[in-house]
Amino acid sequence: MIPQSDDVLLNEDMEESPQPSLTYKLDLLNGRIGAQTVDGLDAVKQTVFKILTTTRFEHLIYSDDYGSEADVGAVRGRAVFETEIERWAKEALMQDDRIVSVTNFRFTYDGDSSLVLFDVESDYGNYTDRLEV
């Protein structure tokens, strides 16, 4: 017996619906995944942290568009450093559909290290994040 298809369902335009952002909460102090869940802006904050601390192409579990390609050792000069950090962060974070923009990068230097502040605008709200390089 050959299955019959429903022409109405096949010809109907399907609407894309946003995927839920509900995820398990990371316990960064103990290096564990907790039993609690986070959603909305808290889930986006956790995702930003994970993306920026994961090296792209290094782990087979992640797709090729997940993670950061930051290689600060190859960068010379503050102007180039600031431009590259901004590019790397934007390229990595804009892969997530919940993130609308990454803007307003601010740099503070202390010897060989730098504190980078930037604003993340998402579907769930805006916040300022930090990255220590």
> How high is the mean pLDDT in each 10-residue block of the chain (133 residues)?
61 65 82 82 87 78 75 72 85 87 90 87 89 82
- For the record, the structure tokens of 91 come out as 């390229």
Residue 99's domain is classified under what CATH number? Answer: 3.10.450.40
pTM value is 0.74
8 domain-assigned: no
pLDDT value at position 104? 92
9 domain-assigned: no
pLDDT value at position 117? 92
State the Cα–Cα distance between residues 86 and 103, nearest whole angstrom: 9
16 domain-assigned: no
Q: Which domain holds residue 106?
A: 22-132
Indicate the number of domains in the chain: 1
pLDDT value at position 119? 93
DSSP string, the chain: -PPPP-HHHHHSPPPP-PPP--EEEEETTTTEEEEEEE-THHHHHHHHHHHHHSBTTT-TTS-TTSSB---GGG--SHHHHHHHHHHHHHHHHTTSTTEEEEEEEEEEEETTEEEEEEEEEETTEEEEEEEE-
pLDDT value at position 72? 65
pLDDT value at position 75? 65
64 domain-assigned: yes
123 domain-assigned: yes
pLDDT value at position 84? 84
pLDDT value at position 132? 84
pLDDT value at position 106? 92
2 domain-assigned: no
State the Cα–Cα distance between residues 14 and 109, nearest whole angstrom: 50
